[in-house]
Amino acid sequence: MRIMTWNVYAFNNKKIKNGIRYILSLRPDVVCLQEVSHISMQWLQTIDGYTLNTCFDSKHQKTTSRNIYICTLTKQKPIRVTKRIYDNGFSNSILTKMYTSILHIAEQHMVLIVTLTIRGKHIQVTNTRLSCAIGTHDRLQEMTTLIQKTKNRTIPTIYCGDFNVVDNKLFNRLTGWMRGFQHFDYLLDEREAFEKLFEKEQLINIFRGKSTAFVNRPLLQFDHILVPDIFKIRSHTLLQKRFGSDHRVLIADIAL
């Protein structure tokens, strides 16, 4: 099974179609996309050979044409699709106020879950973008709640998306003031806390130790593909070409 995830960066990215076309040329079974504009979402609906399912990433306060979406393309038609909210809280951070006052958008904190049958086996794939406009403890709680609301005792679950985890403490110290950090948020080693959660849930972070952002240093693994430790990872690739996004494309071949 080949699975990919990519935050396309909806704002002013004119290379999204080129990026999607290249991704599809690699014949993935599942493609998870975040920050997809309304126009790009409509274009994705026209792609032959794939089924598109979506949920809201962010809603625009004035017009639906500027909504932002979480999108999952699957080569096989899902046997079930569900959408769940994992955070009902409201952030009062400066970054959140910028979203609402300047961009007129509000994050929806939703996860898209598709259930597929691949080679006779049922599997769930979740797709989401955790907020970057909250503190480290709140983001960890988002991930914890997301896992609790989506994991299935009988069906293995793969978790994909932009989790906005910051591996670099200095980066958090420099940006925490605008993301609503409180004192205890600065003290938390975010990467260590997330990895402990992944270990507890018996999930493998395939791209651990690799920067998925537009820079290699500081190391910032925002994007993730997490798979149950019962699966074998055949290969994994981090594309160097970003196709206009500030995130790289993650590709993993998994033996179910």
Instruction: Express each pLDDT in 147-160 by its tens digit.
Output: 999 999 999 999 99
- Tokens describing residue 61: 């306060």
Question: What's the chain's Rg over C-alpha atoms?
Answer: 17
State the pLDDT at residue 9.
87
Domain boundaries, the chain: 2-255
- Please answer whether residues 63 and 109 qualify as being in contact, where contact means their C-beta atoms are separated by less than 8 angstroms: no
- Please answer whether residues 3 and 158 qualify as being in contact, where contact means their C-beta atoms are separated by less than 8 angstroms: yes
State the pLDDT at residue 13.
84
- Arch. (CATH architecture) of 2-255: 4-Layer Sandwich (3.60)
Strand partners, 232: 255
Q: Where is pLDDT greater, at 102 or 51?
A: 51
State the pLDDT at residue 91.
87
pLDDT in tens, 36-45: 999 999 999 9
Residue 10: pLDDT above 80?
no
**pLDDT over 70, % of the chain:** 100
Residue 11: pLDDT above 80?
no
Interatomic CA distance for residues 227 and 116, integer angstroms? 15
- Tokens describing residue 74: 């699957």
State the pLDDT at residue 119.
84
pLDDT in tens, 168-208: 989 999 999 999 999 999 999 999 999 999 999 999 999 99
At residue 177's C-alpha, the angle toward residues 175 and 178, to 5°, is 75
What value does the mean pLDDT of the chain take?
A: 95
Interatomic CA distance for residues 169 and 25, integer angstroms? 38
State the pLDDT at residue 42.
95
Residue 220: pLDDT above 80?
yes
Interatomic CA distance for residues 246 and 210, integer angstroms? 15
State the pLDDT at residue 104.
92
**Helix/strand/coil for 31:** strand
Q: Say which amino acid occupies 37.
A: S
Does the CA dihedral 111-125-53-99 come out positive or negative? positive
pLDDT in tens, 221-255: 999 999 999 999 999 999 999 999 999 999 999 99
- Give residues with Cβ within 8 angstroms of 227, minimum separation 6: 158, 203, 204, 206, 233, 252, 254
pLDDT in tens, 119-142: 888 999 999 999 999 999 999 999
